Structure 1
Amino acid sequence: MLSLSGGKDSAALAIYLRDRVAEMEYIFHDTDKELPETYDYLARLEAILGKPIVRTSPVDTFDHWLTVYRGMLPSNHRRWCTKVLKLKPFENYIGDGPVVNYVGLRADENRVGYISTKPNITAVYPFREDGLVRADIIRILEDSGLGLPPYMDWGRSRSGCFFCFYQQKIEWVRLRETHPDLFDRAKEYEERAVQFGEQFYWCQNESLAELERPERMQQIKENWEASQARARAKRRNVPLVESLGGLEPQDDPALRDGCLICSL
């Protein structure tokens, strides 16, 4: 069983294992809050794999669970979204029989994410076992003709819901520019949270209404460009093997430590 998130690592793993593991089953847990580019990417991957990708949907929607949690929007301290929209549908689909779950963690990643701990599920990490790093993943995707997820073209670094709280501010700016309708929906969730007695911001210390002001978006862009320039300068002295296989400049470890079932 291989869970697909719509991200580059799980897609590359599916391609990597396509001819290595017989009777592989691919599954995608649709939250109904995904980016449109994610659906396009999965459709193209499905054609390359030559097998259907099973799509599960939670019995209850995000809006239902938001009511259950009394308007408390998910955050990195309370990741109920992954639990009820990704993890539970996955575990329900699998049931209680023995299952091998292939996970796309790379050999150059040092993190432990939010994955199932059911005793009947055995997690296997082929990229780690075979020593594959980021450069290898990109090569697999390019050689297959699939390439990187299309949302990366406009600056989104991870798969997952369009309002994912792991987004950096520059990603919110780019969401505003690329999918203003989705940005407005995320802003509505944020504004409605106040009705439940809590002032919550997706960006922790800044509302989306404040962030989308033209002068503020320009400032975020300038800060981002400056940080990228500093990162490039620092990496001039990094060994070539690390440069090819290590984290991208925008891959802040604190932000990368997300939910594996959502973002790989």
Structure 2
Amino acid sequence: MSEAIRHVLSLSGGKDSAALAVYMRDEVPEMEYIFHDTDKELPETYEYLHRLEAILGKPITKTTSERSFDNWLKIYGNMIPSNHRRWCTRMLKLKPFERYIGEDDVLNYIGLRADEDRTGYISHKKNITPIYPFQRDGLVLADIHRILEESGLGFPKYTEWGRTRSGCFFCFYQQKIEWVRLKEHYPELFEEAKAYETPNSINGNTFYWNGNESLSELEQPERMAQILNNWEVSRARARKNLPNQKLVQILGYAEPEEEPQGCLICQL
């Protein structure tokens, strides 16, 4: 163990961790900002981090896994990750984070808000202590919006076309409408994600990113039209029930409180 305590804030490329970085900038000048790069991120994620660096006035360190996603996929028998097999988070995010920390004593700042009750992948090493400034200070979603707007950073550009969370472009926590939007805006990434849906080498079964529905099924015109219609109905309902919500809060297929909650280190 080292005598000096390091202050480290992991960035996912999403709004909450970005707002936390801005929020803590003056309180902890010695803060280290890190981003665990899977090489499967959306282009807008890198652009958002670049803009955040300018606001922080400090570089964001990018960590990478010792192996690529495709290499880990082979090790795991071509069984793509899911909410039951979150090896992607463990190997591409958490392990690089712990390797970056080493044995130093660290305060790890996490962007959980005071208005949410979430759990997810965070390190449980004894030398890493999680800190939750938003919960400590009672900051809620409206405060995160205010921080981002007042700083000039704003929201990640992927929210403009319907993506609600950070993480890999093929993240299994995506809603169906987000897969539709991915196909519309990044058809080459959609095809890459679809190519991973093949029989695994353990038992020959084929697993899909989106539960029991393959991307080949989802991309059929009639199915995409159905998903889009369902989304419009859901969005109209959310606007009616929550008239003061910002558009970014109701872009998802489900209402905000119904959205599936992903891994903390990936999507805060």
User: What range describes the TM-score normalised by the shorter chain of this pair?
Assistant: over 0.9
Task: State the shift of 1:78 in Å.
Answer: 1.0
Supply the AA of the counterpart residue of 1:60: R
Partner of 1:170: 177
Q: Give the 3-state SS of the residue equivalent to 2:260 in structure 1.
A: helix
Partner of 1:251: 256
Q: Give the 3-state SS of the residue equivalent to 1:217 in structure 2.
A: helix
Runs of 5+ consecutive residues of structure 2 not aligned to the other structure: 1-7
Instruction: Answer whether contact 1:73 1:193 (CA < 8 A) is retained.
Output: no
For residues 175-254 of structure 1, the aligned pairs below 5 Å read 175-190=182-197, 192-193=198-199, 197-235=204-242, 250-253=255-258
For residues 101-116 of structure 1, the aligned pairs below 5 Å read 101-116=108-123
Task: State the shift of 1:23 in Å.
Answer: 0.5
Partner of 1:40: 47
Alpha carbons of structure 1 residues 252 and 169: separation in structure 2 relative to 1, 3 Å:
farther
Supply the AA of the counterpart residue of 2:22: I
Task: State the shift of 1:110 in Å.
Answer: 1.1
Q: Give the 3-state SS of the residue equivalent to 2:230 in structure 1.
A: helix
Q: C-alpha separation between the residues in 2 aligned to 1:229 and 1:111?
A: 27
Instruction: Answer whether contact 2:77 2:201 (CA < 8 A) is retained.
Output: no
Q: Give the 3-state SS of the residue equivalent to 1:67 in structure 2.
A: helix
Task: State the shift of 1:233 in Å.
Answer: 3.3
For residues 114-193 of structure 1, the aligned pairs below 5 Å read 114-190=121-197, 192-193=198-199
Task: State the shift of 1:251 in Å.
Answer: 2.8
Indicate the RMSD between aligned Cα atoms, in angstroms. 1.6
Task: State the shift of 1:22 in Å.
Answer: 2.5
Partner of 1:22: 29
Q: C-alpha separation between the residues in 2 aligned to 1:195 and 1:108?
A: 43
Q: C-alpha separation between the residues in 2 aligned to 1:69 and 1:113?
A: 21
Q: Give the 3-state SS of the residue equivalent to 1:193 in structure 2.
A: coil
TM-score, normalising length from structure 2?
A: 0.91
Say whether residues 1:72 and 2:79 are aligned partners. yes
Counterpart selection for 1:81 from 79, 85, 88: 88
Counting aligned pairs with the same residue, the percent is 67
TM-score, normalising length from structure 1?
A: 0.92
Task: State the shift of 1:147 in Å.
Answer: 0.4
Task: State the shift of 1:199 in Å.
Answer: 1.6
Q: C-alpha separation between the residues in 1 aligned to 2:205 and 2:88?
A: 18
Runs of 5+ consecutive residues of structure 1 not aligned to the other structure: none
* More helix as a share of residues: 1
Alpha carbons of structure 1 residues 135 and 254: separation in structure 2 relative to 1, 3 Å:
closer
Q: How many pairs are equivalent?
A: 255
Q: C-alpha separation between the residues in 1 aligned to 2:156 and 2:255?
A: 16
Shifted more, 118-127 versus 207-216: the winner is 207-216
Q: C-alpha separation between the residues in 1 aligned to 2:257 and 2:86?
A: 19
